[in-house]
Amino acid sequence: MLSTTLSSCSQAKNNTQQSAASPGSVVSSSATEKSTDKQVVRIVRSKQLSALAILEKQGSLEKRLEPLGFKVQWAEFAAGPQQLEALNANGLDIASTAESPPVFSQAAGAPLVYLATTRPSGKAISLLVPVNSSIKNVTDLNGKKVAFQKASIGHYLLVKALEDAGLKLSDVQSVFLAPADANAAFSQNKVDAWYIWEPFGTRNVQNKIARVLADGDKLRDTGNFYSTSHQFYQAHPDVIKVFLEELEKSEIWTKDHPKEVAQLLAPVTQLDPPTLEIMHNKYDYGLLPITEKTITKQQEVADKWYSLGLIPKKVNVRDGFLTPEEYAKITPSDVLANK
């Protein structure tokens, strides 16, 4: 995990240094030369069929932040846990993860701040088995090797799927692998199953390497979270407000323009546009406000990990949430209306 994290942080640093010159980057080299005095907000790059990926492609955030003296740099990480390691080490300013990485981060003492949440989109996370596997249902995973990124949505949904089938996490052999490493292990039949998000699921099914044993549609009852460090929130609430406003606009646009989204993100996801249009139905777009219900549900997630002995102490997730008044200052008005 440490080596993966260090590699990811190094990759993010390289992305930061090279973003002006990278193909498709929204910040040009000439713009960088002219704005060396600008501050930088470092946001995780999404390689999924997401509004965050569209936000990077469209460049609207850069335009909104320019009057505030900020430019945007997009940093790539293997998964949520690596993002939050970087967030805590001041290598990232805004992260996008599922529900579990923030809990593990809080358990490690990181002062993160939950900014907004999303709809679950459970169909976009799949439990894969090799296409010719004899495994027919989750019960058949008993004693098998299952790969997943530790502290990820795959980890959490595996726990829920096993419990739903009358099994425990200890009934399978957990193989902690970052997505790229898990993809290699799975394709070489070194593991019996893999819980992973898109586009890995669709790519492996298309290539006739995998079939979907189950997805997270009925199991997932939480959304993703956008988060930041307490330090960045205190220093730049205006930047966060602009980010959430532009992100919600991208959420709405992404929901309403599946064909255009597919064309824009085909190079990012390495999938053809027709496939991406089909995948679009796996996602439910739009930000949701942070409410008391959100906090209660996140506490249930934290308590689950503590009961399994996978975090060292009981976490009070409320420590990472703002007050309703503070959320009202940074959350887009149309998102607040969804309360």
Q: Structural domain boundaries of the chain?
A: 2-119+222-336, 122-215
Contact between 222 and 119 (Cβ < 8 Å): no
pLDDT category at 4 given cuts 50, 70, 90 is very low
Mean pLDDT of the chain: 90
Q: What is the pLDDT of residue 295?
A: 98
Burial code (b: 16+ CB inside 10 Å, e: under 16) for 194-220 equals bbbbbbbbbbbbeeebbeebbbbeebb
pLDDT category at 37 given cuts 50, 70, 90 is confident
* pLDDT tens-place string over residues 211-231: 999 999 999 999 999 999 999
**What's the CATH class of domain 2-119+222-336?**
alpha beta
Return the ∠ at Cα 33 (arms to 32 and 38), rounded to 5°: 55
Q: What is the pLDDT of residue 338?
A: 82
Average pLDDT in the 49-65 region?
97
* pLDDT tens-place string over residues 187-201: 999 999 999 999 999
Q: Does domain 122-215 have CATH number 3.40.190.10?
A: yes
pTM score, two decimals? 0.87
Q: Which residue has the higher pLDDT, 28 or 178?
A: 178
Contact between 323 and 331 (Cβ < 8 Å): no
Tokens of 173: 């052999």
Q: Do domains 2-119+222-336 and 122-215 have the same CATH topology?
A: yes
With a pLDDT cut of 90, the percent of the chain lying above it is 88
CB neighbour list of residue 69: distance below 8 Å, 6 or more residues apart: 37, 38, 39
22 has a pLDDT exceeding 70:
no
pLDDT category at 36 given cuts 50, 70, 90 is low
